[in-house]
Structure 1
Amino acid sequence: MNRLFFERESASIGQVAFARAVASRALHSLQLWPHVKFDGGDAAPAPIEGERTAGKESAWACQAGVNSLAVDRFEHKLMLTGGADSTIKLWDLEQITPQKKDQTLKTIGEVKRGPSTHQFGITHVSFYPFEPTAFLSSSYDHTLKIYSTATLQPSASFTLDSIIYTHALSPIASHLLVACCTQHPLVRLVDLHSGASTHSLAGHAVAVLAASWSPTNEHILATGGTDGTLRIWDVRKASGTLRLLDLEDSIGLGDGLDRPSRAAAKAHGAAVNGIEWTDDGQYIVSAGHDAAVRVWDANETAAAKPGGAYEAEGGPTSVSE
């Protein structure tokens, strides 16, 4: 690390190369912390006849499977998990003691299946971006719900008549529009101010799996579909898609939006199931079922150079900041 600082100060490497090297070091230093287990109170599954049980997990956060999790962005204290069994569990990460080994965390709250809560598996959970006193959840039961973290009771529910695969709320916007990606090709925009589904974004031809708002422009939204397309929208415009990101395009927008996107433009060779913007809004990171993570120049919407793609065996399932 000292060598990196010396090379930066002596101008041997640029700021971008320095930042990339530091980030790479941090990523390679990540390790599983085996001393903490999350116990959601679920019983372990019955052992298969003849299966060895020694060394098996004794604590299960959600025995049916965790489909989504989120950590509050303010104090990084609370964590949500959304389960395939329709439950949502709340955890207090401050209960973790770094010096203590073999810790088991218990939930501090749980939303169970009920008449006013989700009936099927949770697809996505997220904290309200402006304060951690509320959170949103979507489900295979076609609903988007808003909960209070204090009472764990739903304060609002929206039925979209289609499976909601994920949802996204801008971290900077005043409009409070929730973009909902559904089994239907339309991207539905739910207005938390009015409590209504204001309008839809038409452009995708298939189901939409991923969405992310620009961190610098409250009206710009990126979405990804199962056909490998990644679209950039300005939600104020009725004309629809601003741009299709194109894996074959190394030029990008250039001086503006005059040059039309290719009708067959694809960002990935398979479904796009993860999108995230960098904090400065300069780049878009996308993940697909083609086992690739790609980086795009948001100003040009061309594949970023050098590189721009990282292959991973099995394929990434999502990307997150």
Structure 2
Amino acid sequence: MLGLMAARQAGLDDPARLRRAERTRRVLSLELNKDRDVERIHGSGINTLDIEPVEGRYMLSGGSDGVIVLYDLENLSRKPSYTCKALFTVGRSHPDVHKFSVETVQWYPHDTGMFTSSSFDKTLKIWDTNTLQPADIFHFEGTVYSHRMSPVATKHCLIAGHRQEVLAVSWSPRHEYILATGSADGTVKLWDVRRASGCLSTLDQHNGEKSKASSEAANTAHNGRVNGLCYTNDGLHLLTIGTDERMRLWNSSTGENTLVNYGKVCNESRKGLKFAISCGCNPEFAFVPYGSTIAVYAVFTGELITMLRGHYSTVNCCVFQPHFQELYSGSKDCNILAWIPAPREPVPDDISEKSLPQQHLNPAYEDAWSSSDDEG
């Protein structure tokens, strides 16, 4: 790291390389922050979390009791130990509270003045953050398991939602009209919302080699319910999770299964599973609820890096804060936990870089990218 700083200072290296190396170090050192509490408001399990992308300061949570809470994550007290306070709550006494479990909350991607929520009460609500009143309510015939808004759309403000057996949905961060959905029938479909037919392709775990698969498994992404999916931040790959206890990485352009082996991924959820992918690291990491723990995987190699332990019950969701490489998780134990990078060990003034034990550095800290990669 000292070498990267010296090279950057001398103008000999790309500044992005130092940023990637430091972000990677911070993610690899994530630990439960015992000095930061998130105020406990929910009286039942927490199903969904979302941090607004504008400042990275405000977080929404939705619970099985229908309650929605907004938190301020900033340390206003400037003390080492502090509690992230709830700014407001859409509680059971609120006239527009969801009647049943809130499954998804999401900020409007470009402004903190609006957020959305969907629930098992078959509604999707558009909220005005300032007045805490719904600006619009959409009623559906079936259960809304998940919804998302595109993070990059400039020509539309569509909200993708599904009824009944579609458990997960995600917009491409690369193409504003492309959408991926995961269903209880084991399929993952890619859609172009501009097309009348809609569906572009159905992902096949066997990459077309049907002769090696049973007829039941052909043209499916998983041999169980697909209840979680998430694009990498560059939009080039799609990560999916199924109740067959498998996680798969797909090329989002070709639809090809990259065949990365993540091993057995515990997934007993009967509804949507909210997981997260890091941003700006090399390699990138996936944070996956795994029973009462959170499994951290290297996205492109499948290596299980570590298990984050701290919850007392099943973890339902996690969200990554890319500004400071922090992670927040929600569980059936009604708690939201904050995971932050461990502080860097100070280097004594009398020790030079050449005397440091370089052979003991984690290989994941090394950055093999060149400056040309950032230009492409």
TM-score normalised over the length of structure 2: 0.61
Once residues 73 and 56 of structure 2 are traced to their aligned partners in structure 1, the CA distance between those partners, rounded to angstroms, is: 8
Name 2:231's counterpart in structure 1: 277
Once residues 233 and 117 of structure 1 are traced to their aligned partners in structure 2, the CA distance between those partners, rounded to angstroms, is: 32
Letter in 2 for 1:293: M
Once residues 96 and 122 of structure 1 are traced to their aligned partners in structure 2, the CA distance between those partners, rounded to angstroms, is: 29
Name 1:30's counterpart in structure 2: 30
Name 1:180's counterpart in structure 2: 161
Name 1:190's counterpart in structure 2: none
Name 2:67's counterpart in structure 1: 87
Instruction: Give the CA deviation at 1:2.
Output: 7.0
Q: In 2, are the aligned partners of 1:287 and 1:318 still within 8 Å (CA)? A: no
Once residues 162 and 20 of structure 1 are traced to their aligned partners in structure 2, the CA distance between those partners, rounded to angstroms, is: 44
Instruction: Give the CA deviation at 1:20.
Output: 10
Q: In 2, are the aligned partners of 1:125 and 1:138 still within 8 Å (CA)? A: yes
Q: In 2, are the aligned partners of 1:286 and 1:319 still within 8 Å (CA)? A: no
The 1:246–1:86 alpha-carbon spacing in structure 2 relative to 1, beyond 3 Å, is same
Name 1:299's counterpart in structure 2: 253
Q: In 1, are the aligned partners of 2:67 and 2:102 still within 8 Å (CA)? A: yes
Residue 207 (structure 2) pairs with residue 249 (structure 1): yes
Instruction: Give the CA deviation at 1:269.
Output: 2.0
The 1:23–1:139 alpha-carbon spacing in structure 2 relative to 1, beyond 3 Å, is same
Residue 192 (structure 2) pairs with residue 211 (structure 1): no
Letter in 2 for 1:217: H
After superposition, the C-alpha distances for 1:133-170 in whole angstroms (9 at most, x for unaligned) are 11000011100001112121111100012111110111
The 1:160–1:283 alpha-carbon spacing in structure 2 relative to 1, beyond 3 Å, is same
| Pick aligned residue for 2:48 from 60, 68, 76 | 68
Name 1:230's counterpart in structure 2: 188
The 1:24–1:143 alpha-carbon spacing in structure 2 relative to 1, beyond 3 Å, is same
Q: In 1, are the aligned partners of 2:206 and 2:218 still within 8 Å (CA)? A: no
Name 1:319's counterpart in structure 2: 275
Residue 67 (structure 2) pairs with residue 109 (structure 1): no
Instruction: Give the CA deviation at 1:105.
Output: 3.0
Gaps of 5+ in 2: 6-18, 210-215, 278-376
Name 1:10's counterpart in structure 2: none
Letter in 2 for 1:108: L
Instruction: Give the CA deviation at 1:241.
Output: 1.8
Once residues 292 and 20 of structure 1 are traced to their aligned partners in structure 2, the CA distance between those partners, rounded to angstroms, is: 29
Once residues 98 and 176 of structure 2 are traced to their aligned partners in structure 1, the CA distance between those partners, rounded to angstroms, is: 29
Alignment RMSD (CA, Å): 3.0
Q: In 2, are the aligned partners of 1:145 and 1:157 still within 8 Å (CA)? A: yes
The 1:214–1:159 alpha-carbon spacing in structure 2 relative to 1, beyond 3 Å, is same
Instruction: Give the CA deviation at 1:310.
Output: 4.7
Once residues 21 and 315 of structure 1 are traced to their aligned partners in structure 2, the CA distance between those partners, rounded to angstroms, is: 35
Letter in 2 for 1:78: Y
SS in structure 2 at match of 1:156? strand
Instruction: Give the CA deviation at 1:274.
Output: 1.5
Once residues 121 and 287 of structure 1 are traced to their aligned partners in structure 2, the CA distance between those partners, rounded to angstroms, is: 22
Letter in 2 for 1:285: L
Once residues 79 and 119 of structure 1 are traced to their aligned partners in structure 2, the CA distance between those partners, rounded to angstroms, is: 22
TM-score normalised over the length of structure 1: 0.71
Gaps of 5+ in 1: 6-18, 40-59, 184-206, 252-261
Answer with 141-150 or 236-245: which moved more. Answer: 236-245
Residue 114 (structure 2) pairs with residue 156 (structure 1): no
Q: In 2, are the aligned partners of 1:292 and 1:310 still within 8 Å (CA)? A: yes
Instruction: Give the CA deviation at 1:239.
Output: 2.0
Q: Which has the higher contact order (CA 8 A, sep 6+)?
A: 2
Once residues 149 and 53 of structure 2 are traced to their aligned partners in structure 1, the CA distance between those partners, rounded to angstroms, is: 13
Once residues 180 and 108 of structure 2 are traced to their aligned partners in structure 1, the CA distance between those partners, rounded to angstroms, is: 19
Once residues 319 and 284 of structure 1 are traced to their aligned partners in structure 2, the CA distance between those partners, rounded to angstroms, is: 12
Once residues 61 and 20 of structure 1 are traced to their aligned partners in structure 2, the CA distance between those partners, rounded to angstroms, is: 36
| Pick aligned residue for 1:122 from 102, 106, 114 | 102
Name 1:168's counterpart in structure 2: 148
SS in structure 2 at match of 1:108? strand
Once residues 76 and 226 of structure 2 are traced to their aligned partners in structure 1, the CA distance between those partners, rounded to angstroms, is: 35
After superposition, the C-alpha distances for 1:177-222 in whole angstroms (9 at most, x for unaligned) are 1110221xxxxxxxxxxxxxxxxxxxxxxx0000111112111110
Letter in 2 for 1:312: V
Q: In 1, are the aligned partners of 2:237 and 2:249 still within 8 Å (CA)? A: yes
SS in structure 1 at match of 2:37? strand
Once residues 61 and 96 of structure 1 are traced to their aligned partners in structure 2, the CA distance between those partners, rounded to angstroms, is: 20
Once residues 292 and 21 of structure 1 are traced to their aligned partners in structure 2, the CA distance between those partners, rounded to angstroms, is: 29
Letter in 1 for 2:168: A
The 1:92–1:21 alpha-carbon spacing in structure 2 relative to 1, beyond 3 Å, is closer
The 1:122–1:76 alpha-carbon spacing in structure 2 relative to 1, beyond 3 Å, is same
Once residues 107 and 121 of structure 1 are traced to their aligned partners in structure 2, the CA distance between those partners, rounded to angstroms, is: 20
Q: In 2, are the aligned partners of 1:74 and 1:132 still within 8 Å (CA)? A: yes
The 1:292–1:127 alpha-carbon spacing in structure 2 relative to 1, beyond 3 Å, is same
